Amino acid sequence: MTRTVIEHVLSRLREIGVDAVFGVPGDYSFAVSDAVCNDPGLRWVGCCNELNAAYAADGYARIKGVAALSTTYGVGELSAINGVAGAYAEHLPVFHLVGTPSMATQAARALMHHTLGNGEYDLYRRMSEPVVCAQAVMTPQNVVYETERLIAEAMHHRRPVYMAFPSDLAVMPVAGQAQPIESARSDPAALEAAAEAILASLSAADSACVLPGILVARTGSRAAMQALIDASGLPFATMFMAKSVLDEQQPAYVGMYDGALMTPSVREFVEGAERVLVVGSPMTDFNTGAFTARLDPGHTITIGHHHTQVEGRIYANVEMGELLELLSRKTPKRNWPRKPANSAEATNSPTGRGGDPISVDALYPRWAHFIRAEDLVVAETGTVSMGLGFAHLPSEARFHNQTLWGSIGWATPAAFGVAVAAPERRVVLLTGEGSHQLTVQELGQFGRLGMKPVVFVLNNSGYLIERLLNKEPAISYNDVASWRYTELPHALGCDGWMTARVSTCGELDDALAAAATADCGVYIEVVTDTYAASPLARKLGDGLKALRKG
């Protein structure tokens, strides 16, 4: 039988790795939602609101490499646009499927619900333009071509795309045929020239260090990056956005580089290297320690997503993954200088016991010790993630944080998306209570689908990261409502979960021990002092305040 427009799109999304569609239904998008539910290879994953669905798709894409989001026209898509923008900033291919009014309704400029009452039906699509890399209105005549184009654009740029489905056209049969568009390949001459330039630059140096970045993960180049590390003997450090992009337990890992803010020994090693190979690592404020990183441009080799720069010369049309694979074959192994093994940051021993209050030095080392191999850790942007940023993670554990976009409330629904993408792995969510309050409804989806995450809610009586950035930390807008957090799992349908509220080291130790062996969802509220912030959070706060002053 001939596929309909929406069936064709969904079949292609399945073929590139999507097996779940996150969303909220609406009357304009019934055709999309019906097709998802009737597709045996897909699962409809309903969320509590469209913003949460976008965050969940973000989390799913971090694991699967691609995700799909479904919303209705107007109110639905605009509710999701913040989450889509975050996926754009963080290089995540999310296919935003938007059900729109019929073409007849649009042509008549009818004053329908979810419009602004002005007859303009193209307005919301235009509003999405800055936060997607491509978009199209899907019709029977163009759907085959446009689907391939949008897939190619999304995967080439690793950014979201927007697909509008008029309700009448979505269920019409597809017209025409097309072939998938091949992924962009490097220009062979430019690829070879870039590799030779890098090899020549490294051969002239007595010391070097690699900074593998988040685009290594986003482009599926982890294996190629690791092969280069293994073949060359080069040491590597990571910046905050790329924490755990490679296994932190290997001898080549020298620690986290965060400019002048933290770990002086790592900074000295990285900035003192005669060559620094930066691979897909954006120089953002958080990545550079509030722009305190000092990498000599003359000694820095930059491998970008689609181009490379060596000693001031740019090699265009060079794909990161292909270049890494070529270098792994051609780079000779050398005994490069390494930092002494005992100087790399590691997980410290926790302080405090019994009835002692939970301090920073008591909490974060305990959390770090709790994480086990292959865990998927989702940490809310703010003091929670900064406290764990320098923990030495076990093998194959992955650390996820929305470092660049930094949307408060992202972590709870993103952790849900991560759990949908990898049901066989343990998901550990760490969030501040202020962030949690924005998107806490999605906790109920874990229970609805029978998932068993471990959730830690850090209760420090407000927005601590905002207090650290603020000239008046105690000002009222940094306060939040006082909730009975441990009652939330039961109220939201997470039956049988282990819950605990802890405010002393002894209580925390008991809760962690129980959580480590629990065969159910776990929800632990951790109460600390209002200003219990990690050193990185404090230093970054000071650095960002200084930047605001100019």
| Residues 6+ positions from 272 with CB-CB distance below 8 Å | 207
Mean of the per-residue pLDDT values for the chain?
95
pLDDT digits (tens, 9 = 90+) for 75-129: 999 999 999 999 999 999 999 999 999 999 999 999 999 999 999 999 999 999 9
At 193, is the secondary structure helix, strand, or coil?
helix
Q: Cα–Cα distance between 269 and 273 in angstroms, integer?
A: 6
- Residue 342 pLDDT: 45
- Residue 2 pLDDT: 85
**Is the Cα torsion angle 30, 35, 37, 38 positive or negative in sign?**
positive
Q: Cα–Cα distance between 167 and 498 in angstroms, integer?
A: 45
188-343 and 360-549 in the same fold: yes
At 455, is the secondary structure helix, strand, or coil?
strand
Q: What is the CATH number of domain 188-343?
A: 3.40.50.1220
Q: Cα–Cα distance between 478 and 367 in angstroms, integer?
A: 25
- The bridge status of strand 307-310 relative to strand 300-303 is antiparallel
Alpha carbon dihedral 309, 314, 317, 319, in 10-degree steps, equals: 0
Q: What is the CATH number of domain 360-549?
A: 3.40.50.970
Dump the DSSP string for 432-465: EHHHHHHHGGGHHHHHHTT---EEEEEE-SS-HH
Helix (H) or strand (E) holding 212, with range, is strand 208-212
Q: Which CATH number fits domain 5-171: 1.20.1600.10, 3.40.50.970, 2.40.50.140, 3.40.190.10?
A: 3.40.50.970
Closest by alpha carbon to 121, among 139, 132, 145, 137?
Answer: 137
In the chain, where the domains are located: 5-171, 188-343, 360-549
12, 151 Cβ separation under 8 angstroms? yes
Q: Cα–Cα distance between 74 and 123 in angstroms, integer?
A: 9
Alpha carbon dihedral 272, 273, 279, 285, in 10-degree steps, equals: 0
pLDDT < 50 stretches in the chain:
342-344
pLDDT digits (tens, 9 = 90+) for 408-462: 999 999 999 999 999 999 999 999 999 999 999 999 999 999 999 999 999 999 9
pTM of the predicted structure, to 2 decimals: 0.96
Closest by alpha carbon to 376, among 413, 407, 419?
Answer: 419
